[in-house]
Amino acid sequence: MELIECVPNISEGCNSELIEQIAKVISSVSGVKLLHVDAGKAANRTVYTFVGFPESVVEAAFNMFEFVIKHIDMSKHTGTHPRIGAVDVCPLIPIQGISLEQTKQYAEQLAKRVGEELHVPVYLYEQNAKYIHRTRLEQIRSGEYEGFSQKMQSEGWDPDYGPHVFNPKTGASVIGARNFLLAYNINLVSSDVTIAKHIAARIRESGGNYTDMFGKKHVSKGLLRGVKAIGWYIPEYDVVQVSTNITDFNLVSMYKVYSEVQKLAIQYGTNVRGSELIGLVPYDALHNAGKEILQQKPSVANDTIQAAIQELGLQDVKEFTPQKQILEYVAGVL
């Protein structure tokens, strides 16, 4: 059975009625199962996770796009999370019985329909990217919504599909096939967001400029492969976070990321206070982290999943229930 996952990020995290209506649009398509809805008020952003047969997922995603661009006006949107459009990014991910190359074809179909039928400027990324400078999401999203009208006029920034003129109401969207990505945020015991930004620059693979604890400026080459990171403040939790995307949890575990952030936080005179996962997490990602923890701290818990939840502080600022957030449990695979 061929199954793919779709994880659209929508630029609305406050209007609960609209968030629920979008969920109903997705769920109304036969052959699709909505697994999770994760709304963030400070980010003003909601992440939907649904799986199904490839054709059904494409249909549900298109219907979602059509509904969202009618009901969200990006010219009035504010939030802490980087974004360029009402449907900011819409990745397709192979789950079962289908390759990444095959999933790429479905992403192309979706992008073409959204661009041509809904008149939304669409940029292809990850496996579907046609240009090396538009492979990573952060490359495309640089400048954000506020700077995108000018960006579209620059050489090399015509959209892959849709109008070559910026639409202030819809913004632009990013679509592509990719492997599973973990949206994983680590909380700091600090109100100083600059510390989170310095730590993010030091750990992310691409590196960046940072200032050490003595006030000396440096350029980091990046400590962790397969990790993207930014630093921000989340008012709803009243915490500063190092917000990461782990693009390959087999390459670097959540525990490795957590430990590295903790080590650097201590250098800056603070510490970590638990962490959170956005959306669903594959069983193996938690298992890998828990296994690594139990190798170092055998008495932490009785099993790998509980060890990961406890040691990473996944319930410190936000509820984490394995039956509701582990992908295989929610999808009924385990």
DSSP 102-130: HHHHHHHHHHHHHHHHH---EEE-GGG-S
Residue 119 is a catalytic residue = no
- Provide the pLDDT for residue 334: 47
**Distance in angstroms (rounded) separating the CA atoms of residues 145 and 12:** 14
**Kind and range of the H or E element at 45?**
strand 45-52
How many other C-beta atoms are found inside a 10 Å radius of the C-beta of residue 246? 23
pLDDT grade for 333, boundaries at 50, 70 and 90: low
Mean pLDDT across the stretch 5-21?
97
| pLDDT score recorded for residue 103 | 98
Average of pLDDT values for 269-296?
A: 94
- Same fold flag, 3-177 and 182-331: no
How far, in Å, CA of 224 to CA of 242, rounded? 14
Query: Mean per-residue pLDDT for 261-278?
Result: 96
Average pLDDT along the chain: 95
What 3-state DSSP class applies to 145? helix
- CA dist 33 and 248 (Å) reads 25
Distance CA 98, CA 102 (A): 6
CATH topology of domain 3-177: Formiminotransferase-cyclodeaminase; Chain B, domain 1 (3.30.990)
For residues 185 and 79, give the distance between their C-alpha atoms in angstroms, rounded to a whole number. 17
pLDDT at 304: 96
Residue in 36, 71, 81, 164 annotated catalytic? 81
Q: For residue range 316-331, list pLDDT tens digits in order.
A: 988 999 999 999 888 8
Handedness of CA 191, 193, 199, 205 (dihedral sign): positive
Burial class (CB in 10 A: 0-12, 13-18, 19+), 235: exposed
Cβ burial, residue 77 (10 Å; 0-12/13-18/19+) = middle
Structure tokens at 241: 């976070």
Distance, in Å, from the CA atom of 267 to the CA atom of 202, rounded to the nearest integer, reads 12
For 86, the token pair is: 């009402």
On the question of pLDDT at 26 being above 50, the answer is yes
Q: What is the pLDDT of residues 208-254, one digit of tens each?
A: 999 999 999 999 999 999 999 999 998 888 899 999 999 989 899 99
Provide the token pair at 223. Answer: 């400590």
Residue 105: CA count within 13 A, CB half-sphere? 6
CB 52 within 8 A of CB 58: no
Q: Calculate the dihedral angle through the C-alpha atoms of 206, 210, 216, 221, rounding to the nearest 10 degrees.
A: -10
User: Could you tell me which CATH number the domain at 182-331 has?
Assistant: 3.30.70.670
d(CA 243, CA 264): 15
How many whole angstroms separate alpha carbon 307 and alpha carbon 291?
8
Q: Where are the domains of the chain?
A: 3-177, 182-331
pLDDT of residue 74: 97
DSSP element (H, E) containing 257: helix 254-267
